[in-house]
Amino acid sequence: MLAALALFALTYILMLALPKFRPYIALGSAAIFIVTGMLPLDQICGSIDFNVLLMIAGTMGLVALFIESRMPELLADLIMERVPNVLWAAVALSLFAGLISAFVDNVATVLMIAPVALEICKKLKTNPVPFIIAIAVSSNLQGAATLVGDTTAIMLGSYAQMSFLDFFWYKGRPSIFFAVELGAVISAAILGWLFRKERDPIPKGSRTEVKDYVPTVLLCGTVVLLILASFLPEKPETTNGLICCGLLVIGLVYNFWKKKDLSAVVEPLKQIDFETIGLLVGLFLMIGGITAKGVIDAAADLLSKAGGGNVFLIYTVIVWASVAISAFVDNIPYVATMLPVVQSLALGLGIDPTPLYFGLLSGATLGGNLTPIGASANITGIGILRKEGLEVKNSDFFKIGIPFTLAAIIPAYIYIWLVYGI
């Protein structure tokens, strides 16, 4: 177990120190886990979240068609018409991303909204890095707001047998949706403060003309189908990914039919960021390795003992330990491990597990905003910037991610305890 933990820690240190080589470092570490037997061969496929990978690939291709249609430019024009300066443009985009991410996976949200932000920044000739970071962290925040917002929310809903509406009103009380929105309002104020010097006025001009609305319809169809899929019982684990890839195939067929040229298929496929996909594959395999060696189980056991018999202390430990751990560890295996621990704690103490469940979900979801590699949305956003020829320094991310996370998690932490803990 110690060897797996040491390799895992070294890998994350190298990825933080050498951001340009993250995919190769992650895949190299994954290979070591496999070759040394720390990740058994029969667990390789089970460690990879193919649903996430398919969603990323499918949505990236759809977004390429979306950009080609010039719809992002029109949306940029519409937003610029309604905000007075760059500060409000940044806040409006992050709130818009958060709203979409409450119903669509946060990776897909970043892929949809980032092109709009890039287009605005091109027109304003301003640095897009803080814009994209703000969109990514806002997307992560809203992942806990609804049953379909994030994989971890889906996991909790399934484990606790919660419906879509239970995230809004649960056991006769306002549910976690309102805790997340409270954090969203306060964190939006934090973003306003962080962008306070961006006072340049927004230039007004003519609106971009969009001649093909099919890519926009396909993206909207993705949103609707992902929401509807959440209500399907016993659906395949890759349902969301298959939806995204299926709509991409439809888009490519339509694009080929319209242009009668093979480039209509090849060019959108080239826009899929295979470096980001490679990084995620490496991370999934690494997590599978430390899970197989008992590292996550040991961490969960430590958390369960740290609070003793004090319910508030246990709740506090779960929230803040989840924030810290999820800043470096993918929150999906962590939440999967901790759900039965939380249930066992609640049964042993004879209490309602709801505050512990919601504390786990909020802490694990928001913790990913602390580091550039803490959440798939962050990795995706940085990947988009890299394709634009821009490198994101760790300091660039930290100065937005850390205050944003604290502004979001503290009110949610207080809210959940006041509503369900007392």
- Per-residue pLDDT reduced to its tens digit, 352-399: 889 999 999 999 988 888 888 788 788 888 888 888 888 888 888 998
Does the pLDDT value for residue 303 go beyond 70? Answer: no
Q: What is the pLDDT of residue 251?
A: 92
Q: Quick check: 234 pLDDT over 90? A: no
- 38-52, 286-300, 307-321, 355-369, range with the lowest pLDDT: 286-300
Confidence of residue 177 (pLDDT cuts 50, 70, 90): very high
Hey, which residues does 174 pair with through a beta bridge? Answer: 169
Q: What is the mean pLDDT of residues 12-41?
A: 86
What integer pLDDT is reported at residue 304 of this predicted model? 65
Q: Are 241 and 55 in contact (CB under 8 A)?
A: yes
pLDDT band at 205 (very low <50, low <70, confident <90, very high): low
Q: How far is CA 318 from CA 283, 341, 421, in A?
A: 23, 10, 13
Has this prediction a pTM greater than 0.75?
A: no
- Report residue 351: phi and psi, to 5°: -125, 165
Of 94-98, 213-217, 234-238, the range with the lowest mean pLDDT is 234-238
Check pLDDT > 90 for residue 47.
Answer: no
Q: What is the DSSP string of 108-144?
A: HHHHHHHHHHHHHHHHHT---HHHHHHHHHHHHHHTT
Q: For position 335, what pLDDT does the model report?
A: 81
Provide mean pLDDT across the span 338-349: 78
Mean pLDDT for the stretch of residues 182-197: 87
- So what's the pLDDT on residue 316? 92
Tokens 């890299």 correspond to: 386
Residue 371 per-residue DSSP state: S
Top-confidence residue, 175 or 308:
175
Residues found in the chain: 422
pLDDT-above-70 percentage for the chain = 96
Token output for 9: 């820690």
Specify the pLDDT at position 31.
93
Mean pLDDT value across the chain: 84
Angstrom distance (rounded) from CA 137 to CA 366: 8
Interval 67-79 mean pLDDT: 78
Mean pLDDT calculated for residue range 18-41: 88
Q: What is the model's pLDDT at position 327?
A: 84
pLDDT of residue 144: 83
Q: Which residues pair with 85 in a beta bridge?
A: 201
pLDDT at 160 over 90: no
> Which pLDDT does position 30 carry in this prediction?
92
pLDDT above 80 (res 137) = yes
- Residue 406: which of 355, 369, 378 has the closest Cα? 369
Which distant-in-sequence residues (6+ apart) come within 8 Å of 190 by Cβ? 403, 404, 407
What pLDDT digit, counting tens, does each position of 397-418 carry? 998 889 988 988 999 999 999 9
> What one-character-per-residue DSSP string does 318-369 give?
HHHHHHHHHTTS-HHHHHHHHHHHHHHHHHHHT--SHHHHHHHHHHHHHHGG
| Per-residue confidence (pLDDT) for residue 300, from 0 to 100 | 66
